[in-house]
Amino acid sequence: MKIIISIILLFNILYAHPHTFIEVYPTITVKHKTIEKIHFVWKMDEMTSSMLIMEFDVNANNKLDPEEQHHIYENYFNSLIDYNFYTDITINDKIEKFPKPKKFKAFIENNKLCYSFEIEKKLNITNTLFDFGDPDFFIAMILKKEFAKVTGAEAVVSDLDNDFYFGYRLELK
């Protein structure tokens, strides 16, 4: 049995391993146990950022102009819908489709490429879980307790047991 488990593990670990690290900063407003709005900021690691900024910042002014941001949104960010934006929202044990992100912005901060966006969906905190991770494990989503800013409820961050990739879970209590 041990051998079989080892072989299964070896098969799974062949695939990918994190090459990009994205820090997730969620800001959540809760009123009467209902989530009113969620604002996310993703900060990519400096090495990945340098590679992407080189491509995105076409006029090399170290800023992402509106046209450049539009290009990122259309060609890169939007395609993450296939990956549910690396965020599974589970309501009553059922994974929901990630709502269409609004107010997307891309900017450079301390040599890091950052994405900022919002989702507006009324959710009851009692039955809702946010799981961050990439099942392909090419990207590691990093969520520390201090990254989550929640008003009207308490944020609980825990490790996500995904069996073969690593992620984080955010619960509101």
Partner 1 sequence: MIEFYNQLLKQIVMLQYQLNSYISTTIRSINDDNSFSTSLLILVIAFLYGLIHAAGPGHGKALVAFYFTSNKSDYKKAFKMGYMISIIHAISALVFTFGIFYILKTMFRRNFNEMSGIAMQISAVMIIFVGLYLIYEAYKSKKIKEQEIKQSTKSEYAVAISAGIVPCPGVMTIVLFCIVLKQYLLGILAAITMSIGMGLTISVAGILSILFNKKAGNFLDSKGYILEIIGGLLILTLGVFLFTSVGHK
Binding site for partner 1 (CB under 8 A): 2, 5, 7, 9-19, 21, 45-48, 50-52, 54-55, 111, 137-138, 140, 142, 159, 161-166
**DSSP character string of 19-68:** -EEEEEEEEEEEETTEEEEEEEEEEE-HHHHHHHHHHH-TT-SSS--HHH
> Nearer to partner 1 by C-beta: 75 or 127?
75
Please, are residues 111 and 50 in contact by the beta-carbon 8 Å criterion?
Answer: yes
> Nearer to partner 1 by C-beta: 18 or 152?
18
Closest contact distance (angstroms) between CB of 18 and partner 1 is 6
Closest contact distance (angstroms) between CB of 170 and partner 1 is 16
> Nearer to partner 1 by C-beta: 101 or 167?
167
Closest contact distance (angstroms) between CB of 66 and partner 1 is 20
Please, are residues 132 and 126 in contact by the beta-carbon 8 Å criterion?
Answer: no
Question: Alpha carbon 107 to chain centroid distance?
Answer: 16
> Nearer to partner 1 by C-beta: 63 or 103?
63
Structure tokens at 60: 């090399």
- C-alpha distances in Å from residue 90, one per residue of 18, 67, 146, 153, 171: 24, 34, 22, 18, 10
Closest contact distance (angstroms) between CB of 8 and partner 1 is 10
